[in-house]
Amino acid sequence: MRIAISTGGGDAPGLNAVIRAAVLSAINRGWEVLGIKRGFAGLLGADEVIPMTKETVRGIGHQGGTILRTTNRGNPFCYPRRRTDGTVDEVDRSDEVIDNARERGISAIITIGGDGSLAIAQRLFEKGMQIIGVPKTIDNDVNGTITTFGFDTAVTTAIEAIDKLHTTAESHDRVLVLEVMGRNSGFIALHSGVAGSADVILMPEIPFHIDKVCEKIMARDRVGRHFSIVVVAEGAFPDGGEVHMIGESLPGQAKRVGGIADGLAREIQSRTGKECRSLVLGHLQRGGVPTGYDRLLAARFGGAAVRAVEEGKWGHMVALQSPHLVTVPIIDVLREPKRVDPMHDVVQTARSLGISFGD
């Protein structure tokens, strides 16, 4: 048995722990393991395919990033191709991926990625590839699993930022707006905002009204709380308005969400007269060592992925449905993206604590 592992899309703390667990679980079964570098680029001649041994994964369980590298511009079904005149178009190279895997004697692939990589996995599965998915994203927006590794680390980083912003906001009687990641989901904002005692949380699932946000800030001011912390998900938008996008994307790359914090801070300052500053936490949320929770979840996913290969669960994704690790068909996971339920108990509790969602 020879299997291969690849990591695709944006990185997330815990990827190396999945790789380590999958490699060791496979080698301890007497299997051979290959690592496809940079998504599927290694199978398209744009990067390497390397042998994975116990030595390759020694000491990586606690490290952020991915030793296999990754890309969010590597969809083999629309792979960027630079023409001789310098322009770029997209071509379907999925057959090459499948042929090259077959030529290398790879009988199964474990692909670790978010919704984009899982959609690629589903299409490769439909073309006959024996593939297992492992959900990965700091955004926690993959359906079928209670959570994804990387999310807890990102939330922890955001909470540390909120804690630090609290002290300086209070010293200066300022409103501080912290923009966190999540693309079109508000899990990072909600969880870090509640755990970090934010005053306002804005997220895509609950479109906000700027006057309600300002009302909350001024209500605090009137009772002597002259500072406020606003946590805004990058994908949040005003009721009737649109999601803020960041400039141009590179060829083959999904449109990027973000940049709402600055305008929001200026709007709050002009409406309330209170001094307001903003901070975009950005890729700090994707870096650093995974938390203990994420390391364990990642290790469980890696081990479960190898068991799924053993059982021939092709086209399935490993998932946490507490307390169990299960497998679910990737096609079911892709039916709709996971979003915060506005009636979820965390939202209800936040409201009971006096946190405003700007609605």
CA distance 134 to 301: 7
* Closer to ligand F6P by Cβ: residue 129 or 138: 138
Span near ligand F6P by CB under 6 A; candidates 51-59, 93-101, 136-144, 321-329: 136-144
Active-site residue, 139 included: yes
Q: Is 179 in the site for ligand F6P (CB under 6 A)?
A: no
Q: How far is the CB of 118 from ligand F6P (least distance, A)?
A: 12
**How many residues lie near ligand F6P (CB under 6 A)?**
13
Residue whose C-beta lies closest to ligand F6P = 181
* Closer to ligand F6P by Cβ: residue 39 or 303: 39
Q: Select the residue interacting with ligand F6P from 138, 194, 298, 317 (CB under 6 A).
A: 138
CA distance 115 to 150: 14
Window 19 to 58, contacts with ligand F6P (CB under 6 A)? none
Tokens of 199: 């005053």
Helix (H) or strand (E) holding 32: strand 32-36
Q: Select the residue interacting with ligand F6P from 136, 183, 191, 313 (CB under 6 A).
A: 183
Q: How far is the CB of 177 from ligand F6P (least distance, A)?
A: 17
Tokens of 229: 């912390």
Q: Identify which of 305, 303, 307 has the alpha carbon closest to the alpha carbon of residue 121.
A: 305
Window 186 to 245, contacts with ligand F6P (CB under 6 A)? 234
Q: Select the residue interacting with ligand F6P from 26, 181, 190, 194 (CB under 6 A).
A: 181
SS3 138: coil
Q: Is 94 in the site for ligand F6P (CB under 6 A)?
A: no
Pairing of strands 228-233, 200-202: parallel
CA distance 194 to 172: 23
* Closer to ligand F6P by Cβ: residue 184 or 228: 184
CA angle 17, 184, 179 (to 5 degrees): 80
Tokens of 57: 């994964």
- Yes or no: say if 342 and 206 are a contact pair by the CB < 8 Å rule: yes
- Start-to-end CA distance of the chain, whole Å, equals 55
Q: How far is the CB of 236 from ligand F6P (least distance, A)?
A: 12
C-alpha dist (Å) from residue 133 to 86, 105, 116, 233: 35, 20, 11, 27
Span near ligand F6P by CB under 6 A; candidates 55-63, 132-140, 205-213, 339-347: 132-140
Beta bridge partners of 149: 136
Tokens of 197: 């005692």
Helix (H) or strand (E) holding 229: strand 228-233
Q: Is 257 in the site for ligand F6P (CB under 6 A)?
A: yes
Q: How far is the CB of 62 from ligand F6P (least distance, A)?
A: 21
Q: How far is the CB of 187 from ligand F6P (least distance, A)?
A: 10
Window 294 to 323, contacts with ligand F6P (CB under 6 A)? none
* Closer to ligand F6P by Cβ: residue 19 or 257: 257
Q: Identify which of 2, 33, 18, 3 has the alpha carbon closest to the alpha carbon of residue 67.
A: 18
For the beta carbon of residue 147, count every other beta carbon within 10 angstroms: 20
Q: How far is the CB of 50 from ligand F6P (least distance, A)?
A: 24
Span near ligand F6P by CB under 6 A; candidates 20-28, 176-184, 196-204, 333-341: 176-184
Q: State the DSSP code for 125.
A: H
Q: Select the residue interacting with ligand F6P from 7, 72, 122, 147 (CB under 6 A).
A: 72
For the beta carbon of residue 190, count every other beta carbon within 10 angstroms: 29
Active-site position among 47, 139, 141, 294? 139
Q: How far is the CB of 188 from ligand F6P (least distance, A)?
A: 7
- Yes or no: say if 317 and 118 are a contact pair by the CB < 8 Å rule: yes
Q: Select the residue interacting with ligand F6P from 166, 256, 300, 307 (CB under 6 A).
A: 256
CA distance 37 to 4: 10
Q: Select the residue interacting with ligand F6P from 10, 61, 196, 315 (CB under 6 A).
A: 10
What residues act catalytically?
139
Binding site for ligand F6P (CB under 6 A): 10, 72, 114, 137-139, 181-183, 234, 256-257, 286
